[in-house]
Amino acid sequence: MSIAEHYDVVVIGSGAAGLSVALGVDGAARVAVVTRGVVGLDGSSCWAQGGIAAAVGPGDTTAQHAADTITVGARLNSKAAARWLAESAPDVIRWLISLGVQFDTVRGRLALGLEAGHSFPRILHAGGDATGVELMRALREACVLQPNIECLEFAEALEILKQGERAAGVLVRNRKGEVLRLYAPRVVIATGGIGQLYRYTTNPVEADGTGLALAHQAGAELADLEFVQFHPTALAPQDAGQAGQLPLVTEALRGAGSTLLSNGGGRFMAMAHPQGELAPRDIVARAVWEEMAQGREVYLDARSLGDGVRTRFPNFFQACVGRGTDPRAAPIRIVPAAHYHMGGVRVDLHSMTSVPGLYAVGEAACTGVHGANRLASNSLLEAIAFGRSLGERLAHGARAQVNVAAIAAPRASGARAASANDAMVAARLRQLMWAECGITRTPGGLQSAHQQIQVLERRCLPGAPVLRQLLVARLLVEAAIHRKQGIGAHHLVADAQVGSGGGRAVA
């Protein structure tokens, strides 16, 4: 028997997007935030070292911010969404400051950094490379003060409940193993990205595509799944067999003057792109990948920054020290890693999915803002801008009611806990996606990945949690197969172009 509760809005996920939705809903509506860990501390937002982009500096304009977004997105963006996001950015910054976010300043003015793809310095940071930590602190503390927001921690969303064609709530398993029915006429997916589908990622364990699987199984359309952005620089694993989340090496280090070196011939980015180390991320990631595919190791050299590495980038410095290295004295070995998913649940400018009553925000959503490749530091901005706007709209909408008797019986009530077999399947999937659907892809490799994923699906028992990861991975590979032309973060080359080493970069 399941336990039932009624809400006006249920938000799945407690990152920047999810908490912005909850805070946007006024106090007259009852809101539930369902999260797999501790509110505001699980998911990718609190790990964000990069900043948040906004055209608030001298000479900069929201029109130029939108233009940069579209250029980096290979012009596959929704131009309306890109313009709306850029125009919303200054107000988002004001709102965050009103919540107590302490952005870095220089002589009393907001400090603005420059990152790849931006034509003006417009990146705001907090704590140097701890922007996500500071944003989530402020959002979390603001949520605690709202009596209408109830947080369900260590709770797993199992299924979107439906009343006919409409979303009507969420089936949830809490930390005690109890199954809860959270009825609500409005359900918001804010579950983050898919980095955990890959061998190396900057994403935490929660970013495994769960939200996309929930939406797809509820009948929502997905879009642009093939566009996966790989961050060029993550700290290389100390153990060659290590997989999963790696510490991110913020792009701001390259913006400050750090360079990339190969142990086979020094700097190499000048030959890859006129902007060198400040080229768009997909180009830098491919250049690093190609060096590794040739059997070379790649390093980030921050020695020119001197002690500024420690004072300006404390998270990076501490991560290096924890590994027994000092970036002031020696280059640091890096690898590219799955970082951000431009695709997701297809939504319109109002964050509505194709299923009435179901919404999506943040990295789990495909708003069309990013196109084929995300402009640096637009992700936190998108999460907060769309999240806050959605919350305000849901607050002003008519109070709808859920007809419990008309809700279809859930399918996921028999879902079980992960097993040893699930862990082995997940490990195999991560390696497969890294090799065949990663930074560089071939038609043959994608077909092979598709076949192998189907084999892995058949090896799993019904209700296995890893089936959701396999589903999202299969849909992603199918989207990559369907897009015949390489563009943006979907870098497709002919099978004949793959080198003798298989073109597979190894750590």
What span, in angstroms and rounded, lies between the C-alpha atoms of 28 and 432? 48
Helix-helix angle 210-217:466-482, to 10 degrees:
80
What residues contact 458, with CB distance under 8 A and at least 6 apart?
none
What type of residue sits at position 493? V
Name which of 152, 99, 102 is nearest 126 in CA terms.
102
HEC sequence for 173-239? ECCCCCEEEEECCEEEECCCCCHHHCCEECCCCCCCCHHHHHHHHCCCCEECCCCEEEEEEEECCCC
What span, in angstroms and rounded, lies between the C-alpha atoms of 180 and 174? 7
Catalytic residues: 281
Name which of 226, 260, 44 is nearest 132 in CA terms.
44
What type of residue sits at position 502? G
What type of residue sits at position 35? T
HEC sequence for 432-457? HHHHHCCCCECHHHHHHHHHHHHHHH
What span, in angstroms and rounded, lies between the C-alpha atoms of 361 and 392? 13
